Amino acid sequence: MKKIAVTVSFILFSLTLLAQERPAWLNDNQRSQKYPSNVYFTGFAYGEILPNKSLQEITQQIKTEAQTDLSKKIRLQVSSKTQTKTEAVSNNGKYSENESFKNQAVTVSNAEIVGMKSETYYDEKAKLIYAFAYANKYELIGYYKSNLSMNINQIESYMNTAKDLETQKEKAKARQQLETAKPLFLKVRYAQDILTAIDPDISSDDLQQSKLESLYNQLTQMQARLEQGVYIMVQSKEDLFGEKVEIAVDKIKGELSRNGCSFTGVDEHTDLVLTITITTRMVGNTGSMITCAADAQIQLFDMYKQKAIYEDRISETGSSITQEKAGRFALNKLAPAIVEKLLPWVKK
């Protein structure tokens, strides 16, 4: 039954193509009159029937080629406009930023061509399949204006949430809101490039350029503020031959504090969680001097990224006339060694 159903489907598809009247768009002049270049982007393709492929497969292939031909024309216009903008801005030393926008602009895919329509025609006598794709420029303008406004509204929403979180000292969550907003700037600039390519006379108000620039500056300033004064939650276990102490941990906190870090015990205010486990052991005894080691296992967990960003094992030794004093010397030496490893991660 399945084979019969497939055969019937193929026959119906073939009869549909054969029953078509010869469309006007096959003629260059009629195509350009009905779909003028000032109103439409168009794509055209044709191909022969191949013995190793079905009529349906070849038709889809030719249709895709016509759609690709249309998308290339938009890509060329966007790339040309963005290249000009990039070269102009590069004179002010901002080439790299705009280069990324150019690269984004030239990656237009068929799926992004909103409102694109396609038609096909099979010429039985010539054994040729033709395909025509077209998109109304004014429909594209309407879509990308709407898309631009939608993304700007989303940016504003994320940034307002970030401001509220910053006020509540929830810096990690505030940074997360800003990171979510950042990719939307690229989408807005891409929409601006599309609109500028389609309509060279479009105004800066329609492109919302001033608003976007203001939002971007606000985001940059807020990010800088949020990077200052990292909040750290310390979870520690420090053992001096069975005695619970905080010799190394207190020194580590003191040094990190001098480097702009603050400490909290509340999860929602935490940027980083520092977990430290320290044990001591005796490693040598010469009779007059005892040498002990302090071993630390440390982990720095980023609450925003939700992953450990640094892990290490660090050991230091100390010598004295008693085991307890030797252990304390080792713990005191261990603290600055740990801080040295942590600073590159907490001073972002």
Angle between helices 171-198 and 95-105 in degrees, nearest 10: 70
Report the Cα 178 to chain-centroid distance in Å.
12
pTM: 0.55
Average pLDDT over residues 94-112: 44
pLDDT in tens, 149-197: 999 999 999 999 999 988 876 777 888 899 999 999 998 998 888 888 8
Q: Where are the domains of the chain?
A: 2-136, 139-226, 231-346
User: For residue 200, what pLDDT is reported?
Assistant: 81
Q: What percent of the chain has pLDDT over 90?
A: 50
- Residue 91 clears pLDDT 60, i.e. is over it: no
DSSP string covering 6-26, please? HHHHHHHHHHHHHTPPPPGGG
For 47, 185, 217, 219, 221, the CA distances from 153, given in Å and listed in that order, are: 46, 11, 16, 14, 19
Task: Kindly report, residue by residue over 248-288, the tens digit of the pLDDT.
Answer: 999 999 999 888 788 887 776 788 999 999 999 999 998 88
**Does the pLDDT value for residue 106 go beyond 50?**
no
Superfamily of domain 231-346: Lipoprotein like domain (3.30.160.150)
pLDDT at 14: 52
Q: What is the mean pLDDT of residues 124-133?
A: 91
DSSP annotation of 276? E
pLDDT of residue 22: 87
Domain spanning 2-136: CATH 3.10.129? yes
Contact assessment for residue 48 and residue 127, using Cβ atoms and an 8 Å cutoff: yes
pLDDT at 58 over 50: yes
Q: What is the pLDDT averaged over residues 77-105? A: 48
Residue 105 has pLDDT above 50, yes or no: no
> Within 13 A of 177's CA, how many CA atoms are on the CB side?
21
Residue 222 has pLDDT above 60, yes or no: yes
Pick the CATH number of 139-226 from 1.10.238, 1.20.58, 3.40.190, 1.10.3470: 1.20.58
The reply to whether 139-226 and 231-346 are identical in fold is no
Q: Work out the number of other CB atoms within 10 angstroms of the CB of residue 182.
A: 13
What tokens does 224 get?
A: 């800088």
Q: What is the rounded average pLDDT for all residues in the chain?
A: 83
